[in-house]
Each structure stands twice: as structure tokens, then as C-alpha cells.
A and B are shown apart, each in its own frame.
Chain A
């Protein structure tokens, strides 16, 4: 076995490091890997096409764009801000923390499709968190706004990843079970989901603490921004 196919991975890392467009990086990486492994060019192109066609299902979620766009046209994000502006206890950090808890619990019940960046974060969670930040800090800078959005997206991921494995019929649990069965261990899915619980609790604790401290961080960012603006002649 030769190590040459790893050249593709080197190209991939280098491409991401110099911030080239990922589509081009992937294309180059595929060509380098294929050439190094001695795969005929036409065979390689066909393999790319086959896999792209077989994975069209990951793009189904884009069907949501017209609905979200239409609702935004009618003031969805503004309404989300009005709604949280009325709740005095609402802060950006607390709203995202509650979303993290809901996302993780529903994922643990097998309801991963309840959340997602297009379904929940862009139309609802991010505008609510931004609205809460605005009603506490006044008009917020783009930097603060982008930080709030990035944290909202991170809560969606952390909640889903470390909740879903508690559900016994999720793909990753079935993959673990299937692979271990091939290796001669017959393990009921229930045991696998049970041992996913300690990590799930730690994930909530770690990301939860960071969200708990987010409001103070945003306040610092807003203050620094104000100071910077006053110093400007």
C-alpha cells in the first residue's frame, strides 16, 4: 500500500489554509487523490458524478428557502424581535441556552428534524437573540450581531450532535451496532445510547456555561465599540 493518495489530503489542508474557494479545493483534491491512486480520469469523473447524484437528498432542505424568504418579506424577523423585546428576562445568552436545551432534548427523543439552521436558527432563534441583545444594549454593532448569530448556529449543532445519540434508532447508533456486530460483538442499541448520556450532559454543561457568559461578553464588546467610537476624532 502506498502513501501517495494522502497527497490529496495535503492539497485539501493547504487549500483551506490559503482560503481558496472550497469547491475548487475539493475538485483539485479529488483529482490529486485519484491520480495518486492510479484511478483512470473518466472513472474518477464518473465516481464524482455518481456520489453527487446519490446524495441529492442532503439538498432537500433548501426547499424551505421560498417559505422563509416570503415570511421575512412580511416581517418575520422584526416580529421575533418585537416578541422578545417584551420579555424583560430575555437576553441573547439565555434565549440561545434555552434553544440548546430544547434542541438536545428533542434530538434525544429522535426529533432531530425539529431544528436546523434553515428551519429554526435563521428565521427564529437568531432574530430573537439579536432582538434581546438590542433591547439590553441599545443599537448593536455588526460585530456583536455576528457573534450572536454564530453562537445561535453553534447551539443548534451542539444540541443535535450530543442529543441524537441518546435516541436508539438514529443512524450513528445503528452504524456503531452494525460495525461492532461485524467484529463479533452483539450489542443492543439501548446500551450504546445509555453510554452516550454522560457525554451529552457534559456537552450541555460546557456549551451552557459558555452561553451563560455570552451576555457579559457581548456587553464588553459593545462597550469597547463605544470607546473606540468616542476616541475617533
Chain B
């Protein structure tokens, strides 16, 4: 059975490849910083499950210090020039889209099938992790198709991957770092404290005040935590269930559905939701790392206002 661990080995091998090719890159003055960063990340993916929590914690601190102190540069692997790319784009035609489109299509196809195909009584892929496994397999297939069609030099895939990875740089581990911070928040009971502040300090005597406090609280708390899933239990236990449902007789399904979506309005507006907001800015080579957030804030605010009115109009009626 293919499990998540196998996918981690694949990712570990890729990061190890980045680490091994970085020192050759003399255009990058900080190339050994890149080697150290990608090397440590490879260690995390290859051996993380055997290291123990403390060693993993030290590894996280080392990665954060390397990434956070500008110890890494941006490599300049040998690639094609803009002129060559223009010429190849005309030569290959639209077939060049095939590998890129294969990835989402095969991911969905794999998600629907791989967990159900039985080999010797056990499924081909771990059914609990089938989407991630399908994504990894789809990427492998796309890579093989691309290499077969375009016949690039042997190490071109690793070098081109390294080009993009260096560009994203430290932001690559930001989502995992934020998850680690979330664990510390949970350990320290931050959620309970915020919930208590919300209930003691807000005037919640009117149904509309309760609805507004719940929706805005979901958005703000999501902005702090970077994740609506962390905010939902806290805000719903503090305001949603005791006030909107029990005191004012609101419908719990409407409250829950629109409450969660109010949290998503906060997700649009926070750098803490790094994988949605900061990583795309890095991936698209935007000089302002908050550029995506700035575009999303007007939509987030307008939609939050709509959510408050929607919940107030619907939750006490059904």
C-alpha cells in the first residue's frame, strides 16, 4: 500500500536534490545557506518520523533562523533565455499544456479510484490520504510525460525546481511554522482566553449585537490564528451556542454555516494564512508580499458585512 510516508520520502529526495545542486551555483553568493536550508528540510521529510519531537524542534529552530536571517540567496540555474522560450513555445504548440493539465485531472481521478483498488486484500493507496498520494503520483506522471516529450538534460528538472524553490525561499516552510505556532497557542490556552474576553467585554444584549459579535469575532480571531478551523470552536462555544442559539432561539445550522464563512473572510485578509496569501505572492514573484492580501481585503470586508446581515435575516427565521 502506498502511504503518506512514501510521499514524504519523495519530497525529501527532491529537497536533497536542491541541496546537492546548490553548491555548484556560483552565481549565488549565499549558496551554502541554500544547501543548509534545503538539506535540513530534506532531513525533516526523510527522517522526521524517527527523529523524536525534541530533535525535530531543534531542526525547526535551525530552519527558521536560516530562513529568517537572510542566510539564503536566490540561485541562478542554467535555464533557457526568454528568446529561446518564445521560439520553443511556437515549436511545441499547445501540447505543452498537457503535463500541466494532467496534474489536476489525474489527481481527481486518483482520488476517486486509488483507495478502492484492492491488491492482495489491501488498497493500493491509503484511503485516508488518497488525495495527497494521488497528487504526488499525478505529478510524477506529468514529469515523466514532460521529460519524454521535451528531452531536457538529465538534471534539468531538479535545477528548474530549485530555481522556483529559491525564489519562494523561506516562505516554503511558513505554513508548517504557523501550524507549529498553532500547537503552542493550543498548549497555552490562547483560544479560551480570547473567548472569555469576547464574552465579558462585548455588549451582547440584542440579537443583532450577538450576530455581529459572532461574525466579526470569527473573522478577527481567524486573522490572528490564520485558520478559521481554530477560531470556530472557540467563538461558537463562547457566543454562538449560548447566545445566538440558546438565548435568542437561532438555528444552529445557519449559524454554523455562515459563521464558518465569516471566518473565511478573515482568512482573505491575514498574512497568517500563509499558504493562501504569502506563498502565492512569492510564487508569482510579487515584490510586495502582502500584494494578494491587499487585493482581497475589500472583498473580505464587503462579504463579512453581507454575512452579518444574512445571518441576522435568516438565523431567527428558520
Interface residues of A (CB under 8 A from B): 1, 3, 5-6, 8-9, 12-13, 16, 21-24, 26-27, 29-30, 33-34, 36-37, 39, 42, 44-80, 82-83, 111, 113-115, 117-124, 126, 146-147, 149-154, 156-158, 161-162, 165, 171-172, 175-177, 179-180, 183, 185, 187, 191-196, 198-199, 202-203, 206-207, 210
Binds A, one of B24-32, B173-181, B204-212: B173-181
Complex Cα gap A119–B160 (Å): 16
Contact A12 B224 (CB under 8 A): yes
* B199 contacts partner chain A, Cβ-Cβ < 8 Å: no
Please, what's the 1-or-0 string for B130-153, where 1 marks a CB less than 8 Å from any CB in chain A? 011011100100110011001010
Taking the closest CB of chain B, its distance from the CB of A145, in whole angstroms, is: 9
Contact A154 B296 (CB under 8 A): yes
Contacts of B213 in A (CB 8 A): none
Contacts of A5 in B (CB 8 A): 185, 188-190, 193
Contacts of B214 in A (CB 8 A): none
Please, what's the 1-or-0 string for B228-240, where 1 marks a CB less than 8 Å from any CB in chain A? 1100110011000
Contact B132 A60 (CB under 8 A): yes
Contact A176 B94 (CB under 8 A): no
Interface residues of B (CB under 8 A from A): 4, 7-8, 10-11, 14, 44-45, 48-49, 51-61, 63-65, 67-70, 79-80, 82, 84-90, 92-94, 96-97, 99-100, 103-104, 107-108, 111, 129, 131-132, 134-136, 139, 142-143, 146-147, 150, 152, 156-165, 170-185, 187-190, 192-194, 196-197, 224, 228-229, 232-233, 236-237, 241, 245, 252-254, 256-261, 264, 267-268, 271-272, 274-281, 283-288, 291-292, 294-296, 298-299, 302-303, 306-307, 310, 314
Shortest Cβ distance from B64 into A: residue = A23
Contact B260 A165 (CB under 8 A): yes
Contacts of B156 in A (CB 8 A): 70, 73
Complex Cα gap A6–B196 (Å): 12
Contact A162 B108 (CB under 8 A): no
Shortest Cβ distance from A25 into B: residue = B68
Q: Can you name 14 A-B residue pairings with CB atoms under 8 Å? A: A16-B271, A23-B67, A26-B177, A44-B187, A48-B61, A62-B165, A63-B135, A67-B99, A70-B143, A70-B160, A123-B100, A154-B295, A158-B299, A161-B267
Contacts of B100 in A (CB 8 A): 67-68, 71, 76, 123-124
Taking the closest CB of chain A, its distance from the CB of B34, in whole angstroms, is: 14
Contact B164 A65 (CB under 8 A): yes
Given contacts A67-B143, A117-B283, A153-B280, contact A57 B257 (CB under 8 A): no
Taking the closest CB of chain A, its distance from the CB of B211, in whole angstroms, is: 14
Chain A interface, DSSP helix/strand/loop, else mixed? helix
Taking the closest CB of chain B, its distance from the CB of A193, in whole angstroms, is: 8
Given contacts A146-B286, A150-B292, A206-B306, contact A157 B268 (CB under 8 A): yes
Beyond A23-B64, A23-B65, 6 additional pairs, beta carbon < 8 A: A37-B188, A39-B187, A58-B175, A150-B281, A198-B258, A206-B299
Contact A33 B44 (CB under 8 A): no
Complex Cα gap A222–B214 (Å): 42
Shortest Cβ distance from A171 into B: residue = B229
Given contacts A34-B188, A195-B314, contact A69 B161 (CB under 8 A): yes
Contact A63 B292 (CB under 8 A): no
Complex Cα gap A196–B303 (Å): 13
Contacts of B86 in A (CB 8 A): 75, 78
Q: Which of A47, A61, A206 contacts B184 (CB 8 A)?
A: A47
Complex Cα gap A207–B301 (Å): 11
Contact B85 A113 (CB under 8 A): no
Given contacts A46-B57, A62-B11, A66-B158, contact A176 B256 (CB under 8 A): yes
Interface centre among A77, A83, A157, A172 (most CB of B within 10 A): A157
